[in-house]
Amino acid sequence: MWGAVPRRLCVRARVRPLSTSAAPMSAVRTLRAGLSARDLDQVWEAWDALRANTSRDRLRRHDYADILALVRANLPALAPAQRRSPAWADRCRAWGMDAAQRMDVLGVQGWMRVELLCGQPAAAIRLFGAYMDARRRARPAGKDVTLLLDAGGVRPAALHDLLALFVLCHAAEHDLRGLVHTMRSFDVGTHTQLYFDYTQCARLYSKVRWPPGTRHTDDIVPRALAYVSHAELARGLLDGSGGPAGPNRIARLLGSLFTRGDSPGAWRLIQAAMDAGVRPGGPGPAWLATPSLAASNELGAWTDSCWAVALSGLLAARREDLASHVWACAGATQARAGEAWPPLALWNAVLDGYSRAGDLPSVLATWRVLTHQASARDVPLARGAENVQAPSSSPDLVCYTTMMAALFRQRHVQEAIELFTQLRAQSDVRIPVETYNAVVHGLCVARHMREAQAIVQSMGEGDVPPPTITTINILLRAHARQKNLPAMAATLRRILPLGLRPDVITFTTVLDALLRRATTPAEAEAAVSQVQQIMQSMHVPPNSVTFTAMIKACLNVKGDMEPRMRVAMQLMHTMCTTVKLAPTAVTFETMIAGLVSPSRLVDVGTVAEWPPIFAAAPPRLPGENEDLPPHAKRLALVLWHQLSARQLAPTPDTYHVLVRALLADADDVPLFQRGVLVADELLRARGALAERVGLARESVPQSAAPPAPASWTVVLHALLRAHKAAADPALVAHVLDSVLSHFSASQDGAATMLPPTPTYHTGNLRHYLEEAAKALK
């Protein structure tokens, strides 16, 4: 027996002990009776009988969940000084291993929690290992060695919390090296985004109640949060990524974080890297090596690119205080590696970071160090005891290019030109086309068009590299900003004689310029026709990407300018009637989002003005006697039906845009009904929502992917707004009630969206569920 379970929690049923030969269904009934009576012994006997007869497939998901819930409910009943008896420890682990073999993520997470609450983190780690082994065995034959842990139908939120719990177990065991080793053995998440939600992990860890007698419980959570960053660094490296390509993933991850403005997240990763071996004498095991110091049999993971991205990103974010710590670590690494390190790329990163921060004095101070006019200690971020020594060589081409771009950015055009002249005067330097493009771009931004044209005119002569299509696009954008159409035409005429091939940027730049000059629909249509003629004259066949980009140029307007909807419709009509230009799901998403934009009312004219393919009304719903009036939402529905007719899978954003637009006004019943149909398909309700508005279940297709938390949130939010604004909210209330019922019963609903511990995916969802419940009272 597991401790002394109070009688109120264990009312023993009077049943005869089961033998292993008992009928499977009888054992299932006995198990469920034991769950109802809260009798752990009876539940185990029945489950053991089913296991002996290999009949556990007769149990359902809720049976396993009820077993776990009963065990969890008995944990607080144990006396503070007691532990599980060996028999019950084995039984809990048997249930946990069974969940692992069934690849039940929520079950594995639950039994790992049981082991943690009983003071056995090592046993919880073994449960996770069993789950990993089961996932590997379940992979189809012929797959490569990389295990994609986020594949196989696992809910992202549940997998996130499982891995966060796994990190906590290793923190309780002080086993960072074991955590890193496991995290290297599989791929999970997108490598340009953080996988672990730091706030959610902190919330999850703070709710764990450690058993009495656990030592240093106050240290476990801070250590676990530090381990989270190590897990972020380790995922995808070495074994998981398939070899040496892995390290640059850290640089890409850091770069994406800085691009999104998440400097705190990037800094946590940088700190973890320093502690993991980049900084000498770190507090943890040195599992992350730098290439210059790695052993011959060890792959360095913190590359020069990582150093450069960290320095540039922190300085651009105006966090010189943090960049100074990284610079000091680089100095310590240089002291160990010798004069051959670091490369000039690190100094270039400092130039780039200060330049993007708009700190010209610091850019100039760094340049003086690079050109041996000042000491390395004159670099503003040189704050540590061991600073990087100035390079013995002169600045390279990349440094010159970065410095000139920085000067152009601050409108110091003359100084930038002088620097370019110095560079061209060096006979032993061959300047690449990228440097010329940077100078041309800087001159164009500063509106020194004559000098920019002169440099482009000189390209291709002597040792000067010929221009590329990027060079031409820079000039085109500059002429477009100045609305100089003759100059654009002259630049376009140079493309073919130079042997270049225009790209999507070329034509969308021209179209955008022509549309800015157009003041009437006829002029806008003429602009599109003119661009198409230009493409034809250049022997560039248009494709769906080109047309989709032109549609975006028509719809993505700024300020008070009206979207060129007639032109976009004409382009869409051409795509729909031309096989080689068949629209993609992204094309339909672009058009539908432009039609039902929440920020403005779109004038689509009359049906007679629409291209013929859009003139037909969307199919009538049962009971409808009239077509929908000619407005933007009707046109969006026409496109929605064409999307389905072409058997294209709508993007989640397309669903969300339509749900928000169609459910906004419950008093417009035909549109509201169609919004319910879209929501029914999005939530995979199989007609349950459609029935509430008088529609047949068969009218709802079932082509949507399983809904994400955002899908439920969008539907609930739209219905709540409609409920408040409706003259008669009864219809909305019926649909809202059906959504809540479906959420409770669906496998894509509460079972996976709302685990016992809230996740970072479900914060808004919980809020809207509560609001919906209040609205129905």
Percent residues over pLDDT 70 in the chain: 86
Average pLDDT over residues 682-709: 78
Per-residue pLDDT tens over the stretch 490-499: 888 888 888 8
* Non-local CB neighbours of 154 within 8 Å, separated by 6+ positions: 103, 105
pLDDT for position 367? 94
Nearest C-alpha neighbor of 662 from the set 636, 684, 695: 636
Distance CA 239, CA 301 (A): 12
Average pLDDT over residues 11-32: 59
Average pLDDT over residues 37-57: 84
pLDDT for position 2? 46
Nearest C-alpha neighbor of 492 from the set 511, 478, 506: 506
pLDDT for position 642? 87
Per-residue pLDDT tens over the stretch 718-762: 898 888 888 788 888 888 988 888 888 887 777 667 655 554 445
| Among the ranges given (17-31, 323-337, 363-377, 592-606), the one the predictor scored with the smallest mean pLDDT | 17-31
Q: What token pair was written down for 266?
A: 């990037």
Mean pLDDT, all residues of the chain: 82
What SS3 state is found at 482? coil
pLDDT for position 155? 67
Task: Of 4-13, 196-205, 206-215, 753-762, give the range with the top mean pLDDT.
Answer: 196-205
pLDDT for position 100? 92
pLDDT for position 20? 43
Distance CA 247, CA 256 (A): 15
What SS3 state is found at 247? coil
Instruction: Please tell me the total number of residues recorded for the chain in this structure.
Output: 777
Model confidence at 152, pLDDT cuts 50, 70, 90, reads low
DSSP code at position 187: B
Per-residue pLDDT tens over the stretch 247-301: 678 898 999 889 888 888 899 999 999 998 888 777 778 888 777 666 555 556 7
Average pLDDT over residues 527-553: 81
**What is this structure's pTM?**
0.69
Distance CA 528, CA 564 (A): 11
Task: Of 125-134, 194-203, 332-341, 692-701, give the range with the top mean pLDDT.
Answer: 125-134
Handedness of CA 262, 263, 265, 269 (dihedral sign): positive
Please report, for the chain, how many H helices and E strands are present, in that order: 36, 0
Average pLDDT over residues 92-113: 92
**The pLDDT of residue 317 is above 50:** yes
**The pLDDT of residue 610 is above 80:** no
**The pLDDT of residue 94 is above 80:** yes
DSSP code at position 185: T
**The pLDDT of residue 381 is above 70:** yes
Model confidence at 208, pLDDT cuts 50, 70, 90, reads confident
| Among the ranges given (242-246, 375-379, 553-557), the one the predictor scored with the smallest mean pLDDT | 242-246
Per-residue pLDDT tens over the stretch 405-416: 999 989 999 999
Q: Which helix (H) or strand (E) holds 161?
A: helix 156-172
**The pLDDT of residue 691 is above 60:** yes
Per-residue pLDDT tens over the stretch 108-148: 999 999 998 888 899 999 999 999 999 888 877 655 566 77
**CA separation, residue 363 to residues 347, 370, 410 (Å):** 11, 11, 11
Per-residue pLDDT tens over the stretch 389-445: 888 888 888 999 999 999 998 999 999 999 999 888 887 778 889 999 999 999 998
Per-residue pLDDT tens over the stretch 357-367: 999 999 999 99
Q: What token pair was written down for 482?
A: 């100045």
**The pLDDT of residue 644 is above 50:** yes
pLDDT for position 561? 67
| Among the ranges given (82-91, 409-418, 537-546), the one the predictor scored with the smallest mean pLDDT | 82-91
Residue owning tokens 């130039």: 351
Percent residues over pLDDT 90 in the chain: 22
Q: Are 722 and 664 in contact (CB under 8 A)?
A: yes
pLDDT for position 725? 84
**The pLDDT of residue 626 is above 80:** no
Average pLDDT over residues 223-232: 93
pLDDT for position 216? 65
Distance CA 244, CA 247 (A): 7
More confident residue, 159 or 704: 159
Cis peptide bond upstream of 706, omega within 30: no
Radius of gyration of the chain (CA): 32
**The pLDDT of residue 99 is above 50:** yes
Q: Are 14 and 26 in contact (CB under 8 A)?
A: no
Q: Are 455 and 418 in contact (CB under 8 A)?
A: no
**The pLDDT of residue 203 is above 60:** yes
pLDDT for position 18? 42
DSSP code at position 290: -
**The pLDDT of residue 583 is above 80:** yes
